[in-house]
Amino acid sequence: MHKYRIMNIRPRRNRKSSAIRAMVEETKIGTEHLIYPFFLKDGIRIKDEVTSLPGNYRWSVDLLLSEIESCMKLGIMTFDIFPAVEESLKDKFATYSYREDCFYLLAIRKIKETFPEIVLMSDVAMDPYSSDGHDGLVQDGMILNDETLPILSKMAVAQAQAGIDIIGPSDMMDGRVGHIREALDMNGFSDVSIMSYTAKYASAFYGPFRDALNSAPKMGDKKTYQMNPANRREALLEAELDVIEGADMIMVKPALCYLDVIHALRENFNIPVTAYNVSGECAMVYAASQRGWINYELAMTEMLLSMRRAGADGILTYFAKDFAKLVKTT
Ligand code: PBG
């Protein structure tokens, strides 16, 4: 007589100890997969916390250098920086973005001189420098596509001259990857990579980022260029175009509500796919864990794992340093 039911397949056997669980674990995530975004401000000795993104700061470059060093010790080697530009320096054409004395370009130079071995990435879009707060050129309430492209290319070349490793076009204008690729190549920067914000959705989850840079649109929204959250097939079209135009990597943004899109790009394209775990996604975890409603470390790890499982190679995330500390201690 059997005391227990006979079942020849019992999935729980592969979960019976931590060693067995580790042996059959399908998805790995390490610090090598993480890209850490920073906000940068002009000045010295500035470390100014972003209220809606606790634990994240607007740094002046002097302090950012030591922060980067401490992240490198934890194994993070790739960083993305975003400038918080004074309102008085913004104009319709985002001219400050490629001015030689632009603090952001000087900072890129300084960071790469100090740490040549890191990978440094930068956004290309007009919004942090635009008095209209849009990613493209605004005229009579319209966002002009083709007129925006030369501005983006100038910005990209200026960043390449400063020593950037990866350009991240985040503006969603049509044809921008090809335009920027050509400008980089014509100026001798064929080694500078492009990680395109391929499927960037018009999302509610960018709020804290716009607080950090004071870059929210002054009028309207971004729906005529950023994608409709309802669309998946359109992401495949965007990816096809980016690949043809010369992108080295394609990104999905935000990540958490778009895991199916990450998966679709992974299945259909052979270049690396990255995911941007955006500010609002991280802010939800900070806020709920501060109240004791969820466990910060477990929730963060589960989110990052889900993006890797969906097919992301790299992940941009404000959790990068906390995650690196966690894996170092466990
Ligand atoms: C700018 C840009 C945005 C983000 C990255 N680059 C904001 C936007 O498009 O409005 C959002 C990142 C985040 O929320 O963490 N084009």
Neighbours of 8 (CB within 10 A): 4
123 lines ligand 1 (CB under 6 A): yes
| Residue reference for tokens 């959705």 | 201
pLDDT band at 1 (very low <50, low <70, confident <90, very high): low
Going by their DSSP bridges, the two strands 119-124 and 78-84 should be labelled as parallel
Q: Is the pLDDT of residue 225 over 60?
A: yes
127 lines ligand 1 (CB under 6 A): yes
3-state secondary structure of 126: coil
Q: To 5 degrees, how large is the angle CA 277–CA 283–CA 288?
A: 125
Q: Is 47 among the catalytic positions?
A: no
Q: Is the pLDDT of residue 297 over 90?
A: yes
Q: What is the pLDDT of residues 154-204, one digit of tens each?
A: 999 999 999 999 999 999 999 999 999 999 999 999 999 999 999 999 999
7 alpha carbon to ligand 1 midpoint, in Å?
51
The upper half-sphere exposure of residue 116, i.e. CA atoms within 13 Å in the direction of its Cβ, equals 1
pLDDT band at 2 (very low <50, low <70, confident <90, very high): low
Q: What is the pLDDT of residues 110-126, one digit of tens each?
A: 999 999 999 999 999 99
209 alpha carbon to ligand 1 midpoint, in Å?
6
Q: Is the pLDDT of residue 76 over 90?
A: yes
107, containing H or E segment: helix 103-114
> Which atom of ligand 1 lies at the shortest distance from residue 280's CA?
14
135 lines ligand 1 (CB under 6 A): yes
pLDDT band at 6 (very low <50, low <70, confident <90, very high): confident
Q: Is the pTM of this model over 0.85?
A: yes
Q: Measured between alpha carbons, how far is 280 from 204 in angstroms, rounded to an integer?
A: 8
Q: Is the pLDDT of residue 33 over 80?
A: yes
CATH superfamily of 26-329: Aldolase class I (3.20.20.70)
Q: Is 3 among the catalytic positions?
A: no
170 lines ligand 1 (CB under 6 A): yes
Q: Is the pLDDT of residue 4 over 90?
A: no
Question: What ranges do the domains of the chain cover?
Answer: 26-329
